[in-house]
Amino acid sequence: MMALRVVESPPVVVCDGLTIRYGARAVADDVRFVIPRGAVYALLGRNGAGKSSIIRCLVGQRRPSAGGVRLFGRDAWRERASLMARVGVVPEEPDAPPAMTVAELAEFSRRLYQRWDQSALVARMARFGVPMHTRFGALSKGQKTQAALSLALAAAPELLVLDDPTLGMDLVARRELYGELIGELADRGTTVLLTTHELAEVESIATHVGILRAGRLVIDEPLELLKGRVRQIRCAHGPADVAGALAPFEPLALRSDGHGIEAVVGRYEPSAFDRFRRAGLVEAEAQPLALADIFSAVVSEEAEPSGGNA
């Protein structure tokens, strides 16, 4: 009896040694990460860390200086024309001919995609409260982003790329946009790559996190694993060699003053912490951190995480 051969589909995104230079300056340096199908990958970093440049390479708008990006197993630069039919993009600054209405943009776009869902577009725009027959140039910043997301999702993309989509939006508009995104993920399981500064919102939907620091990817792992190994350690006072005592936990940030010791560590382990606490420490405690606090510790000027994982 002939055995069936199972053919696994390639990851949706493979960023392999991606380097991007503007002149002599490298804004992305040997960046490597993989996004499996159905994942929500949050690519985080401070302004100027290289996020938008990486996005431009990923969607075939810029040729890498070295390395490359593969989408669905194919080269994002060489095969960008055919690959973009499977990708929805919402840029940081949504752009379209200002005189065209959203309805006209939809009519133009539907000719480019085989799986266009006009009814879903109309329903989503109604939920956002954005009239279909309003000129794009007359929309507010938030409405332009809502329209761009609606148009991107109408094409039923296999990969949705969001480059800081909520920048400049008010609280209500941000929540509406993330609500639509959560609904889309539940209905379709779309793979998502997003950059954002709204870490509280993204923490509720992200499955994987990458953190850039000065162009290098210093964190790349599932969010739950990251939150499981990073802790804030506090104690009233400890041994004279604080740095040495904390070294096994790989501190990301450390502060010691007359009131005690406070550290964010990247390799927390309960049994090791119990030994640490018994070594003459007073009121030692370890607490989990929200993604925003982990991010701050990793990208702070004092942090020196090792490559790959902190």
Q: What is the pLDDT of residues 75-84, one digit of tens each?
A: 999 999 999 9
Q: Which residue has the higher pLDDT, 269 or 239?
A: 269
pLDDT value at 244 more than 80: no
Query: Which pLDDT score is estimated for 280?
Result: 60
Measured distance CA(247)–CA(276) in Å, rounded = 11
Average pLDDT over residues 48-61: 92
Query: Which pLDDT score is estimated for 240?
Result: 59
Residue 114 contacts by C-beta under 8 Å, 6 or more apart in sequence? 85
pLDDT value at 303 more than 70: no
**Residue 249 main-chain phi, psi, to 5 deg:** -90, 0
pLDDT value at 310 more than 50: no
Q: Which of 207, 249, 203, 204 is nearest to 230 (CA)?
A: 249
- Residue 225 Cα to chain centre, angstroms: 16
Going from N- to C-terminal start, the domains of the chain cover 13-224, 231-288
pTM across the whole model = 0.88
What average pLDDT is seen over the chain? 87
Contacts 24+ apart (CB under 8 A), 77-85: 84/59, 84/60, 85/112, 85/113, 85/114, 85/155
Query: Which pLDDT score is estimated for 285?
Result: 83
CATH code for the structural domain at 231-288: 3.30.70
Share of the chain above pLDDT 70, in %: 89
Domain 13-224 in CATH 3.40.50.300: yes
The one-letter amino acid at 205: I
Average pLDDT over residues 216-238: 89
Average pLDDT over residues 199-214: 92
pLDDT value at 45 more than 80: yes
Query: Which pLDDT score is estimated for 305?
Result: 41
